[in-house]
Amino acid sequence: MLITSLENNNIKKYLKLKQKKYRDEEKMFLIEGEHLVREAYKSNRLYDLLVLDGYDFKIDFSYTNASLNIMKKLSDMDSTPKVIGIVKIEDKKTNLGNRIIILDGIQDPGNLGTIIRSSVAFNITDIILSDTSVDLYNDKVIRASQGMIFKINIERRNLVEVINKLKKQDYVILGTNVKEGIDVRDINVKKYAIVLGNEGQGVSFEVANLCDKNIYIKMNKEVESLNVGVATSIIIYELNGGLK
Amino acid sequence: MLITSLENNNIKKYLKLKQKKYRDEEKMFLIEGEHLVREAYKSNRLYDLLVLDGYDFKIDFSYTNASLNIMKKLSDMDSTPKVIGIVKIEDKKTNLGNRIIILDGIQDPGNLGTIIRSSVAFNITDIILSDTSVDLYNDKVIRASQGMIFKINIERRNLVEVINKLKKQDYVILGTNVKEGIDVRDINVKKYAIVLGNEGQGVSFEVANLCDKNIYIKMNKEVESLNVGVATSIIIYELNGGLK
């Protein structure tokens, strides 16, 4: 089947997914390019697939061909992709795993994508985003995650509520502090949630208050702080060491 | 003194610094915002300073006031900064330090800025960029570096030439490989250059060939690779451990 009209009902629906409001409503989001589509497919997350008319895309998933004009309209990239996937947003999990990252107000899509990628690399089980964080289904987040967004549970929640719940379930809530705390090399925990904050302001006061202890990364005193994606990655790289 | 005309000779010169060609020619670049200006000042790198007319900027450096229109024209930001600094590009050092990062074709300004920031944090002495890397004085690089660009020697050079020279001076040239090599936790070197590559293609063939050994970061097999800024940061975080 070949779709060429922007008035096609599915295309009209998918075009709306470029806005956060409709992604939330329809519980779907768009992904672009072969790498991401294959990752979504491998993770059983692909719901629908559009392939540029004339392009021979080898995948064991039934797809619809679409004209260049449609692909261009759906895309956020400078160069129009040959494949665009539609992915379903999963429901929230009832039980979280033992190794959680909590992000309080993260704003940069590249940083969030990088944290997702590192989280899968270092065996984090869940990522919890505050309501104030950047939208997870922003195309820049998805691209920076390199498709790892399909391999980890990520939820948007009220942080104070979720942290209070985790505390009752014996999670250690680890804050981060650039000046003082326990050297991340000396931390030994099995069931934890690590809280990281906004790029400029850090963690909000009420969330910081709920942390059981602070960890820090030893570094040259001339540097105030690391990039939040780097700091998160070093902490979970180091904690993952304890798993082996 | 207050400048209001875009025809002012200094302003005309500074406006040209928005293009790489003129930055290279004049050996100067622009920085925006108080944080970066203060960092440049502290590092004795500030050459000239423009402050928005009417703004009371407290700094022990003689500055010129400029109209909002001039500040707007000079700025690359959405919100016009209150201060804009002009910084001199330093000459190349004749002798490099013992802990070098070599970047072969890095493209993303955010990644380069992040690597600069982490490099100062973990006591790297020099960063060498290939001719194919993103421009160091791109405003996104400077912002992502959080002003750390003033605290470390960074040079653009022919990588094959520089690596061959370093090898004669007994540097260990460390490549990175996502599949095999020595676990970065087990590396013990004192005088080294770590080579990292382009976001998509990695290290070029001729440069990879010059590496003495490959290091890798142990991670979940579902992940092909880490973001290059994260990978670099974890490696130098881990190597810095050996210094203490």
Nearest to A108 by CA among A78, A138, A153: A138
Q: Where are the domains of chain A?
A: 2-88, 99-241
Q: What is the pLDDT of residues B91-127, one digit of tens each?
A: 888 789 999 999 999 999 999 999 999 999 999 999 9
Provide ipTM, 2 decimals.
Answer: 0.91
Nearest CA in chain B to A42: B222
CA-based nearest distance A237→chain B, Å: 8
Among the residues of chain A, which ranges form H helices?
A: 9-16, 20-26, 34-42, 68-74, 109-121, 139-144, 159-168, 205-208, 228-241
- Residuewise pLDDT in 10s, chain B (244 residues): 889 888 999 999 999 999 999 999 999 999 999 999 999 999 999 999 999 999 999 999 999 999 999 999 999 888 999 999 999 998 888 789 999 999 999 999 999 999 999 999 999 999 999 999 999 998 899 999 999 999 999 999 999 999 999 999 999 999 987 777 899 999 999 999 999 999 988 899 999 999 999 999 999 988 989 999 999 999 999 998 656 5
Among the residues of B5-156, which ranges form H helices?
A: 9-16, 20-26, 34-42, 68-74, 109-121, 139-144
- Fold for domain A99-241? Alpha/beta knot (3.40.1280)
pLDDT at A79 over 70: yes
Average pLDDT of span A54-68: 95
As a dihedral over the C-alpha atoms of residue A119, residue A123, residue A126, residue A130, rounded to 10 degrees, the angle is -30
Tell me what percent of chain A is helix, strand and coil, each rounded to the nearest 5: 35, 25, 40
pLDDT of A242 reads: 56
CB-based contact B59:B85 (threshold 8 Å): no
Nearest to B242 by CA among A239, A218, A222, A237: A218
A80-114 as b/e, with b when 16 or more CB fall inside 10 Å?
A: bbbbbbbbebeeeeeebeebbbbbbbbebbbbbbb
Residues of B engaging A, defined by a Cβ cutoff of 8 Å: 110, 114, 117-118, 120-123, 144, 146, 148, 151, 185, 217-220, 222-227, 229-230, 233-234, 237, 240-241, 244
Q: What is the pLDDT of residues A34-56, one digit of tens each?
A: 999 999 999 999 999 999 999 99
Q: Two tokens at A106? A: 């993260």
Q: How far apart are CA B216 and CA B210, in angstroms?
A: 17
What are the two backbone dihedrals, phi and then psi, of residue B129, each rounded to the nearest 5 degrees? -105, 140
How many interface pairs between A and B have CB atoms less than 8 angstroms apart? 79
Residues of A engaging B, defined by a Cβ cutoff of 8 Å: 110, 114, 117-118, 120-123, 144, 146, 148, 151, 185, 217-220, 222-227, 229-230, 233-234, 237, 240-241, 244
User: What's this model's pTM, rounded to 2 decimal places?
Assistant: 0.92
Nearest CA in chain A to B224: A121
Q: What is the pLDDT of residues A107-152, one digit of tens each?
A: 999 999 999 999 999 999 999 999 999 999 988 999 999 999 999 9
Q: Which of B43, B117, B230 to mutate to test the interface with A (most CBs of A within 10 A)?
A: B230
pLDDT of A243 reads: 64
Q: Which of B99, B223, B243 to mutate to test the interface with A (most CBs of A within 10 A)?
A: B223
Cα→Cα distances A15→A6, A28, A90, Å: 9, 11, 20
- Fold for domain A2-88? 60s Ribosomal Protein L30; Chain: A; (3.30.1330)
